[in-house]
Structure 1
Amino acid sequence: MRREREREREMAVWGGLCLSWGRPSRGQQKACIARAGGFNYDPKFHGASSSSSSSSAAEPEEAKEKALAEKGFFVNRSRALLGSGDRTFRLAKSALLSWRHFGLGWAVVDPETPVAKGVKFCVCVKELLPWVMMPLQIAYVVDEACSSGPARRASFAFGSGTLRGHLLAGEERFSIEQDENDQVWYEIFSFSKPAHILSGISYPYVRLRQKYFAHQSTQAVLKHVADQHSES
């Protein structure tokens, strides 16, 4: 307990950001969340990252992305095929529930964090020297079982919104979808804009890091699914 309290004291706050010279402890993350308050972006965009699972979703998604871009948000989407079949879907879903998609070393989330609406958590990112703790709140969770018939589909997704004290303002969704052809997809969708002077002056770099994260996160989920398949 003493060591935990000492590490909490090591947390620094600069310009509203929570920083740590070492990998943030749970106590530091809780302290950061306690400082955060509510969402830091317009309420009319709360839940805007959610995706329809209807067959006509493509056109509305394009229109939504255009509308977000017109409001100054950078929209980022990454989609990758994980495999096929019910087992692949279940394994990929378990990867999200256990935060394997954030097990990257330089970007981490406490794996004990429940995936449930309203839960607040920190994404801890190592950039240059200090770690940065960025608070978010899960805005929604979608868990749709397979339907019967030729158009059977299943999906699992959750979206998180940024809180005050985050470098960015916006939302990010992680989703696993099993389509009508039994193929299983992993998708990351986000919209964001700078919410701090630091991200404002380095936003081209931030956008590159978002794309890099999407690539590494996809590799982490693919590895989890492959490893679990090989053990069976």
Structure 2
Amino acid sequence: MSTLTYPEVGATRLGPLPKGYNHLHHRTRVGRGADDFAVAGAAVTEWRMHRAAGTRVKAPARRAEPGGTVTMALGVGPLRLSATCEVIWTAYGEEGRTGFGYGTLAGHPENGEECFVVDLADDGTIWFTVMAFSRPAAWYARLAGPLVPPVQLWYARRLGRTLRRLVAEGDSAEE
């Protein structure tokens, strides 16, 4: 296991999020019923949601597993930013919940943790949640300062829209 860059490991699993960080919490409805829940959960944990949203994903495993590393890259050409994280927890269908959380490793522009979770509510509604706590680690993240939280929220919303589209298409096929 690699060394994470923050001490509050696992705080995105059940909360509360730790003080001293920027917090992100975005929740969006993506579907309804058991079939949509299965499609959404697979798209999230098998990296398809991120890829469909335009993120390059380099992961050694087909799906998120604790201890696995994943490198995410956003941007174009020389403006592409890559960051490596370690999956620290997963939830596979436990009590209507599927998803994972990952934490930052050395070299990531931020220190913190982020999770991507799909929940099946009692009324059959499928909710997708992105929750994170982070603070700048790299000089350029500190320089970006107040721009970072709105960009993180924009990306969380993009993931929600992408997942809603994948669920509507019934995209549960493996890559």
What is the TM-score normalised by the length of structure 1? 0.67
Cα distance in 2 between the residues matched to 1:38 and 1:221? 31
Question: Does 1:221 find its partner at 2:166?
Answer: no
Question: Does 1:173 find its partner at 2:115?
Answer: yes
Give the AA of the match of 1:207: P
Q: Could you say what secondary structure the match of 2:67 adopts? A: coil
Contact 2:60 2:70 in 1 (8 A): no
Partner of 2:80: 131
Give the AA of the match of 1:139: I
Partner of 2:3: 38
CA deviations 1:71-101 (Å, max 9, x no partner) are x200101101112110010010111133122
How big is the shift at 1:130? 2.9
Contact 2:109 2:138 in 1 (8 A): yes
CA deviations 1:30-63 (Å, max 9, x no partner) are xxxxxxx521112xx0001102xxxxxxxxx5xx
Give the AA of the match of 2:91: V
Partner of 2:103: 161
Greater per-residue strand proportion: 2
Cα distance in 2 between the residues matched to 1:134 and 1:111? 12
Give the AA of the match of 2:110: L
Partner of 1:184: 126
CA deviations 1:187-232 (Å, max 9, x no partner) are 0000000111110111212111101101111111011011117xxx
Greater per-residue helix proportion: 1
User: Relative to 1, partners in 2 of residues 1:157 and 1:97: Cα closer, same or farther, differing over 3 Å?
Assistant: closer
Unaligned stretches of 5+ residues in structure 2:
none
Q: Could you say what secondary structure the match of 1:180 adopts? A: coil
Cα distance in 1 between the residues matched to 2:131 and 2:58? 21
Question: Does 1:48 find its partner at 2:8?
Answer: no
Unaligned stretches of 5+ residues in structure 1:
1-36, 52-60, 146-152
Cα distance in 2 between the residues matched to 1:110 and 1:120? 9
What is the TM-score normalised by the length of structure 2? 0.88
Contact 2:103 2:114 in 1 (8 A): yes
CA deviations 1:6-35 (Å, max 9, x no partner) are xxxxxxxxxxxxxxxxxxxxxxxxxxxxxx
Partner of 1:117: 66
Cα distance in 1 between the residues matched to 2:45 and 2:99? 10
Contact 2:59 2:69 in 1 (8 A): no
Cα distance in 2 between the residues matched to 1:123 and 1:84? 29
Cα distance in 2 between the residues matched to 1:115 and 1:187? 16
Contact 1:82 1:185 in 2 (8 A): yes
Which is bigger in relative contact order (C-alpha 8 A, separation at least 6)? 2
Cα distance in 2 between the residues matched to 1:85 and 1:218? 17
